């Protein structure tokens, strides 16, 4: 498990990208303010669908890397974004091909039968899952 009470990372994305993670496109590229030093391989990635304010599923983190946008493209059809969507994400984030991204590879992603409501604000660059965050979300779903 992660360091300092971290058990995972809540990853914000649109519904289509989450759908692709569940269907054999397990690589998630993300621009972050600071790289999540407390996240480790074996922790969980929780897929937060921004538009619906839900956590739609989760998977194990099998790889955590910092890569330039140009290098991220080599993942091709393993990415949860198309090449055009990645282009748009880079442009909308005012980044370039040489900027670093957090790249998470997810293993055995599982879509929840009933997504979990998540009313707490999740920033564009994600947030750690801790016991406190988990129980906040759990209370909201009773």
DSSP H helical ranges for 1-142: 15-22, 69-72, 83-92, 131-140
- 114 assigned to some structural domain: yes
Query: Do the domain assignments include residue 84?
Result: yes
- Give which of 15, 13, 8 is closest to 30, Cα–Cα: 13
Residue 11 within a domain: yes
How far are the Cα atoms of 21, 83, 102, 116 from residue 113, in angstroms, in the given order? Answer: 16, 30, 28, 9
pLDDT digits (tens, 9 = 90+) for 11-20: 999 999 999 9
Q: In the chain, how many domains are there?
A: 1
Residue 87: domain span: 7-121
Residue 27 CA to its chain's centroid (Å): 9
The CATH number of whichever domain residue 83 belongs to comes to: 2.30.130.30
Residue 139 within any structural domain of the chain: no
- On whether residue 129 sits in a domain, the answer given is no
Residue listed under structure tokens 């564009």: 124
On the CB side of 116, how many CA atoms lie within 13 Å of its CA? 21
In a domain, 1, yes or no: no
| Residue at 131 is within a domain | no
pTM across the whole model: 0.94
| Cβ pair 52, 115 in contact under 8 A | yes
Using CA atoms, how far apart are residues 36 and 46, in angstroms rounded to an integer? 14
Any domain includes 95: yes
What is d(CA 26, CA 58) in angstroms, rounded to the nearest whole number?
11
Per-residue confidence in pLDDT tens, the chain, 142 aa: 567 789 999 999 999 999 999 999 999 999 998 898 899 999 999 999 988 899 999 999 999 999 999 999 999 999 999 999 999 999 999 999 999 999 999 999 999 999 999 999 999 999 999 999 999 999 999 8
């Amino acid at each position: 498990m992660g360091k300092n009470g971290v058990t995972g990372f809540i990853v914000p994305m649109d519904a289509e990208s989450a759908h692709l993670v569940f269907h054999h496109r397990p690589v998630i590229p993300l621009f972050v303010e600071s790289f999540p030093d407390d996240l480790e391989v074996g922790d969980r990635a929780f897929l937060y669908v921004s538009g619906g304010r839900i956590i739609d599923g989760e998977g194990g983190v099998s790889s955590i890397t910092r890569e330039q946008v140009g290098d991220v493209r080599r993942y091709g059809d393993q990415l949860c974004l198309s090449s055009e969507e990645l282009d748009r994400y880079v442009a909308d984030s005012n980044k370039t091909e040489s900027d670093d991204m957090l790249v998470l590879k997810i293993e055995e992603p599982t879509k929840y039968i009933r997504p979990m409501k998540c009313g707490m604000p999740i920033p564009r660059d994600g947030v750690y899952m801790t016991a406190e965050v988990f129980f906040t979300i759990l209370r909201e779903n009773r």
